[in-house]
Amino acid sequence: MLISILATLLFGCIYFYLKLPAVNLHAVEFYTFIFLLCAVYCAVSLLMTGFRAGSLRDYVKHLVKKCTIPVVALAAFLLIAVVGSVAGSVFFRAKDYAGLLKLEQGDFAAEVEEVRWDQIPMLDENSANTLANKKMGELSDLVSQFEVDNSSAQINYRDIPVRATYLNYGDIIKWWKNRKAGIPAYLLIDMVTQEVTVQRLAEGMKYSPSELFNRNIYRYLRFHYPTELFYDVNFEVDDEGVPYWCATVVRKTIGLFGGTDVRGAVLVNAVTGESAYYPIEEVPSWVDRVCSARLIMEQYDYYGMYQSGFWNSILGQSGCTKSTSGYNYIAMDDDVWVYTGVTSVGGDESNLGFILVNQRTKNARYYVCAGANENAGMSSAQGAVQQYSYMATFPILLNIGGEPTYFMALKDASQLVKMYAMVNVSQYQIVAVGSTVEECQGNYASQLAKNGIAQVDTEETSERQEVTGRIAEIRSSVMDGDTWYFIRLKDGNAYYLINGREYPVATILNVEDLVTITYQAGEDEIIQGSSIERK
């Protein structure tokens, strides 16, 4: 018996250290842990006795005799798991599942602030990661020892939307060489300017996912909070630039395993390891990602399917809705809000509206807006430049002139951003494209006005001007695969920059041709042109 107990304890310690199960009756992995402990005890006990059973019945009797306590314990835990699962079944608790996400009706034009063209976040995750790796390649002291993590999270850093990413040790040898000093920096990628900033630390980060043994952030959290249920661990940065790990703590609110909901967060200083638990209503304002987007989508789908009961979700499906196939983020009120479209369970390409959910507070709002879903908006944008076979990124939702608008980048086969597009959500045949964000927004504002939808009175559009004159000089240059034309008019010193791919008329212009150029007011020697017309 003593040998069996010692062997079980040894196995349990090793398993717990490697797999890190929560010691909590609401955690499925805890029951797996108990089952394995009982199985190991019984196996060692039987091996020690050297029993040879004549039949299966004899074997079972001997097993019960030698392993009464673990068998009874296993049966008890199995009963608890079965009863708890049934008690949390959506069949019996559909209304409770529908109530996990509390939605408020919202006014999009009033609540979502309009953004200037020079404040629109343009980077998706793939582009941000590409920029981060490119920047890393320029840092000779870091690139040989560390690697950029292949994910980046959108946060608000000092009220600026950025993507933050951290470094990992290159391999176990590099971990051994650098473990005392820790990871010396992290990267912030400005989503508007696309500038990558390397934030070097006076003292390196000692706790991260790439650490081994007790400084591994997941192991550190489990050893300090053995009973907590963790959902996600996100990289965050406070307003002073101190790196933290934000571990989302959840609870099961329906039965034993159902109704996953956010209870709070554990914040771990990535440098010192100091940690503290905060209920969700007390999480510091600089934290942006407590409620996971995946969990929010799951909770909305419960609401959409079961708000009228379980049987309605099976028979008739009256009023049943679901989230669309993707989501993105909006920076608003110094917080990050996740948004997704809401469509019927029939699976068409139209939206009934969309939801915005604050990832720190879980404040959720629903906006009625019939129109195209994100995929249909992407198709409309790609159709406007179908001759180039560009692919649209998943859109960002913006307020342009009070109109919900999809904004997306258009990339070529090499994943280089070539153009930008805006698509009106309600009337997705209204599509504007441009080689710059400024040009795209100007074209979109013109289309809104032309169709009598809205007048976008922004500083940028009010400064859009026209000039007519004869060409004195024309030059060309190939940049990023496109031919750009530099046109100087008579009686002027400025060169107007025109994209030949977007405005083919520029390719056939000659000196002395009379043209009208639309441009953004400015005092630079080279001025970005928005359009050109030959008279």
Name the domain boundary from 290, 315, 345: 290
Given a contact cutoff of 8 angstroms between Cβ atoms, the answer to whether 513 and 470 are in contact is: yes
pLDDT of residue 458: 47
Residue-wise pLDDT tens digits, 438-480 = 888 888 888 888 888 876 654 444 456 788 999 999 999 887 6
Say if residue 229 is in the same domain as residue 172.
yes
Residue-wise pLDDT tens digits, 395-439 = 999 988 888 999 999 998 887 888 899 999 988 889 999 888 888
Q: Cβ contacts of residue 362 below 8 Å, gap of 6+? A: 101, 262, 280, 290, 291, 296
Q: Are strands 328-332 and 321-323 parallel, antiparallel or unpaired?
A: unpaired
Sign of CA dihedral 310, 313, 319, 324: positive
**Measured CA angle at 64 (ends 58, 69), to 5 deg:** 170
Which range of residues forms the domain containing residue 498? Answer: 464-534
Statement: residue 2 has pLDDT above 60: yes
**Measured CA angle at 252 (ends 251, 258), to 5 deg:** 150
Per-residue buried b or exposed e for 350-383, using 16+ beta carbons within 10 Å of the residue's own CB = ebbbbbbbbbbbbbbbbbebebbbbbbbbbbbbe
**How many domains does the chain fold into?**
4
Name the domain boundary from 238, 257, 290: 290
Say if residue 370 is in the same domain as residue 283.
no
Say if residue 480 is in the same domain as residue 429.
no
Say if residue 279 is in the same domain as residue 269.
yes
Say if residue 442 is in the same domain as residue 339.
yes
pTM of the model: 0.81
Q: Cβ contacts of residue 123 below 8 Å, gap of 6+? A: 131, 163, 189, 191, 194
Residue-wise pLDDT tens digits, 308-354 = 999 998 988 888 999 998 899 988 888 899 999 999 887 667 889 99
Residue with tokens 């980048």: 409
Q: By 3-state DSSP, what share of the chain in percent is helix, strand and coil, each rounded to 5?
A: 35, 35, 30
Say if residue 240 is in the same domain as residue 324.
no
Residue-wise pLDDT tens digits, 63-122 = 777 788 888 899 999 999 999 999 999 999 999 999 999 999 988 888 888 877 667 887
Say if residue 519 is in the same domain as residue 504.
yes
Say if residue 416 is in the same domain as residue 523.
no
Given a contact cutoff of 8 angstroms between Cβ atoms, the answer to whether 439 and 530 are in contact is: yes
Q: Which residues pair with 471 in a beta bridge?
A: 489
| One-letter amino acid for residue 403 of the chain | E
Say if residue 223 is in the same domain as residue 100.
no
Sign of CA dihedral 279, 285, 286, 289: positive
